[in-house]
Structure 1
């Protein structure tokens, strides 16, 4: 596995000495690759020293921390400490890269915390970074993306591992009634009578206790809000000659689903579109092998990066340029007679879920 990791890190000239024209992505990748190789016991010292001596000002904050981590793991802690910036920016911006390096404020802070624990575990910025990351998760009950989750859990896991051994006992009451005690090894309580209850926790001993509450179920309300946040999406059904089918389908009829997506404020990469099917329709042939009957698709169809087909939905992924609507088509057949709810079609930037859209729900009829 380590050989594969070294090969991947060195691919594509990432660790060829970055030249003066290197963009920020190339420099970021070089610093990250230096850290990964140092962690694997194979430090790329020529590139590490080149970045430190010639391109340090071109690195963003978290990349400087990764370069410092590479030096620390290579045994050169003095150089690692000299690379760390004098101050750490804890401000959060709403900007997230939807591709390339998937940058975001939370991801950057998690990487900086991870590297500080490697380089200088008593650094005064560590508690501030821990607080900032935990507050960000508490605000929305989670971090927003897989990148943020991965780096945040990695950093906070290292932080908690270095904390003194926890040894405490605790009591918990629900609406004044005492429940079984818990201790530092943890305990789970399950029941249907926690919603709206008054819960009180007390601890005795050394350490900090953490708790969470989780509820799940099926909503009794079928209403789904439709919206567009920096993305626009719509769906309509067409006959093979391009005419619109409104709400009534003939049983056995072949129709085309037309999905239109537009990025409204910037280019967006890694956008996932999920089109849930009404129960009366089935996907006929998502690859459109028989395009001869719908030749006009050749000039209008958008080619996704990837398509995932299920019985009840079609999912595709793509990159969408700023304010340029893209249309994707796939064939369906009306198979079951009846009246059916049409679920909405949705789009979301996987690495910036604040950019999302939901639209085009309704009902259809399939008749003989």
Structure 2
């Protein structure tokens, strides 16, 4: 409440959305700040995202007419990429709009919005975690108001029958499939409409990864402390060497929230010098660095056409053959930025 009363518009940071969400949260908690809500509504130039959140706040506060007026002033399909701080997207805006329609009692418009949103969610279209979470949240609210009264289903997988009976509007089961052809038969024994999806997932066999580069260039080389390249396909036990990882933004736009992961084989060990007298090795610059037993994660942003190099100190510790996975990099909220490299087999041998 103190923050909402002290808020002032900062167009550089587009903080009107932060204020709208703050006011929505207060209203959701049963303590609406009507004065701050009215002040934000009268502020010129607030974003569509802000209008949708503020409309929901008014609806929660019982001011449905004000909520409907704000809702009518917004554009559902619009997203402003300048509001990157808040991870907006057209689908997230639709989810926020669906919640507002439910709160204001617009059942007919809510049903159409939910149908459109469901099509987007069921497609192969990529969604960020923020968009996915809000879509699921809004659809769960829609299901609470309009969902069926439970599920009663019988299904047969490869001749083996099972029954599902639940009062909930959602049920899922793991299917044990076999190599080759499989068949499944499903029968809905209730009078409601049932929507069925069969989802499959898997992991490619070792050595069959798919290398790709989209808007990002990545490269990994291994060197000794003198800077000479090291061949890790066969390396002597006890050798200390450096993994030098380079990543470059190949676009003319800045990209934020990049995550780069390099997993090491179990025969290597990461030499973490941050807690020793040697200090942090490599002087790596990132927003956050997460060093674990089997991998190093870097989180950072890159300016247009900027390159950055990270160095990780390693030791070939255990004799044997091991698989070195490829490097992975991606923008966590923009799937058009991604890169993967191929892995390789390595061998640690006696000196």
**What TM-score do you get using the length of structure 2 for normalisation?**
0.85
1:127 and 1:249 map into 2 onto residues whose CA distance is 63
Equivalent runs, 1:236-275 vs 2, <5 Å = 236-247=221-232, 248-265=234-251, 266-275=253-262
Which has the larger displacement, 194-203 or 257-266?
Answer: 194-203
Equivalent runs, 1:179-190 vs 2, <5 Å = 179-183=161-165, 185=167, 186=171, 188=173, 190=175
1:168·1:206 contact (CA, 8 Å) conserved in 2?
Answer: no
Cα distance, 1:241 vs structure 2:
2.1
Which has the larger displacement, 207-216 or 158-167?
Answer: 207-216
Name the counterpart of 1:348.
Answer: 330
1:173 and 1:236 map into 2 onto residues whose CA distance is 52
**Which of 335, 343, 346 is residue 364 of structure 1 equivalent to?**
346
Cα deviation digits, residues 99-128 of structure 1 (max 9, x gap):
52111222222122122212234252x223
2:207·2:344 contact (CA, 8 Å) conserved in 1?
Answer: no
Give the secondary-structure state (helix, strand or coil) at the position aligned to 2:123: helix
1:357 and 1:123 map into 2 onto residues whose CA distance is 44
Name the counterpart of 2:85.
Answer: 100
Bigger relative CO (Cα 8 Å, ≥ 6 apart): 1
Name the counterpart of 1:228.
Answer: 213
Give the secondary-structure state (helix, strand or coil) at the position aligned to 1:22: coil
Cα distance, 1:131 vs structure 2:
2.2
**Which of 11, 16, 25 is residue 6 of structure 2 equivalent to?**
16
Structure 1 unmatched ranges of 5 or more: 1-5
Name the counterpart of 1:149.
Answer: 132
1:253 and 1:358 map into 2 onto residues whose CA distance is 27
Structure 2 unmatched ranges of 5 or more: none
2:133 and 2:303 map into 1 onto residues whose CA distance is 28
2:49·2:93 contact (CA, 8 Å) conserved in 1?
Answer: yes
Cα distance, 1:339 vs structure 2:
4.3
Equivalent runs, 1:56-67 vs 2, <5 Å = 58-67=45-54
Give the secondary-structure state (helix, strand or coil) at the position aligned to 2:14: helix
